[in-house]
Amino acid sequence: MTRLSLTARLWALLLLAAFLPASLSAAPFAAYVMDARNGQPIYKQNADTRLHPASLTKMMTLYMAFTAIERGQVRLDTQFLVSTNAAAEPPSKLGLRAGQRIELRYLIRAAAIKSANDAATAIGENLAGSEEAFAQQMTQMARALGMRNTNFRNAHGLTQEGHYSSAKDMTILGRHLFYDFPQYYNLFSRRSADAGIAKVSSTNRRFLDSYQGADGIKTGYTRAAGFNLTASARRGNKRLIATVFGGTSTAQRNQTMAQLLDSSFGRVPSRVRETRPRAPRLLVQRTVRRAQVEPTPAATQASPQRLVLETSDKPARANRSASTAATPQPDPLAAAVRQAQAMALTPAASNLTLASSARPSARPGATRTDALEAAVATAVASAETAQSPSLAAPVLSASLRPVPAPRARANGSLVASAQTNPGANPEDIARAVAEAVPDSGTSLSLLQSSAPKPRSETVILAAMGEGDLAEPEAVEIVSRPANSGRNWGVVLGLHRSRAAAEELLMQSALRDGATLQGARRHVADTKRGFEASFVNLTKADAQLTCERFKARANECRIVGP
């Protein structure tokens, strides 16, 4: 029995030795090392080869989550709903249940530290509505970050056709995580964290503990991809970011990464000019439209304003059968006006039409119309005094409702005398009427009224609310380039609290409003404190701002593009 069992073990070892190299060589090897300070490559091998990224995919999932938080779409305490699809993801997983609600902060910790597939899927589905839509957004963001050999099909990184990336692209993504979201970057150096329903341990703790200066970032493994790792490490002023694809084991992958970093640290200079990566350029067009009002003929065509005066209807005759007390007394003023109109009108004319043009010169022998002209002049003068918005309103109201004159017995005799004597001079009639009517503020005098004011020759046409008479402007589309020269900023030092940093930024913006008008305030939560800064400045504004701060004995540092 002992010899048989020994023989069986030997055959098992031989078979394992025969098949092990083939399985380990299934995943191609690739590596890329970058100087994080300026993005320059230090070492590369198959760096642009499209390979399976495995759980390195979650680096982009977390980048999208951080972006959504900074844009205000979600918050760390937002409750995300776990779908059946997310709960059914294979390990590694947090253990989420379908229908469960959990805060986003716990999903981020589980995806970053434990590399939980169910947590990554829940993040993608809640941010974009579905995992497919989220994968499309991840690919678009990858293009915006300069990742040319990357295409995503899911949020967790499990092997799927059409889901690939490269060692160079994942190193670029790691650099963006470090610079774009420094307030969240310390998450990648944690050995463990509370994920709400469980405490999770880091899948990268072995490399973090074994390599001096390592502070992240992410591990990944599938059979098709092998053992992958994107790591970041710092020594003095130097910082490197590197990616390894296709390791044969965790130990071999970590050892290869350590050798690459050691050799690269010795090849880079201690001091170089730091060049931060550019923010992702998303394709967004800003359009400005101007209001447009179509002109109408009423507003654009000048038409003469005409004033039409018509005689008022004759008052109804009183019933003679009525009592004498109820019979109205004749109005001498109205009778005088009617007499003047009857004498001025020709037999063929039935009404009086006057235009608002200049007064025509008097014809020879037109003495019979003097009384009528005086009446019209008085009506126009009263309209100018009232400042009515309509020129015809006062005249029409005066014609429809004549102002009654004081009734006196003497007036009746004057009117009766004028009616029985058709050949009387109209001027004598008008003078008699004027003398009969007492002088009051509301009386209408035909002879003693002042001459009308000369009308201005200037004609003002109102648009009648139709809008601007100018030629309508075409729709103007203004596109602002992403890089418009305002890529400079100033850093105003570190502060103990976010409130102190924001207070300094607010006071500075109020004090130097002209220089900092287009600047954007930013507070970064770093390991040393809260860093206050103004960004989106031109180079001249940044220099001027720093000079003013230094003149007030304050700390200030210019940050270039």
Rounded average pLDDT over 282-302: 48
3-state secondary structure of 492: strand
Higher pLDDT, 541 or 193: 193
State the average pLDDT over residues 481-508: 79
CB-based contacts of 482, cutoff 8 Å, min separation 6: 281
Q: What is the pLDDT of residue 301?
A: 52
Cα separation, 558 vs 161, in Å, equals 47
What lies within 8 Å, CB to CB, of 245 at 6+ separation is: 27, 28, 29, 30, 31, 46, 49, 51, 53, 166, 167, 225, 226, 228
Domains and CATH numbers, the chain: 21-265 (3.40.710.10), 369-403 (no CATH), 404-437 (no CATH), 488-559 (3.30.70.2030)
Distance in angstroms (rounded) separating the CA atoms of residues 228 and 53: 7
Is residue 13's pLDDT more than 50? no
What is the rounded average pLDDT for all residues in the chain?
76
Whether 356 has a pLDDT exceeding 80, the answer reads no
Q: Are 530 and 496 in contact (CB under 8 A)?
A: yes
Query: What was the pLDDT predicted at 363?
Result: 56
Q: How confident is the model at residue 319 (pLDDT cuts 50, 70, 90)?
A: low
Query: Helix, strand, or coil here: 438?
Result: coil
**Catalytic site residues?**
55, 58, 115
Mean pLDDT confidence for 452-463: 54
Mean pLDDT of 205-220: 94
Q: Output the 3-class SS for 502-552.
A: HHHHHHHHHHCCCCCCCCEEEEEECCCCEEEEEEEECHHHHHHHHHHHHHC
The burial of 381, by beta-carbon neighbours within 10 Å (0-12 exposed, 13-18 middle, 19 or more buried), is given as: middle
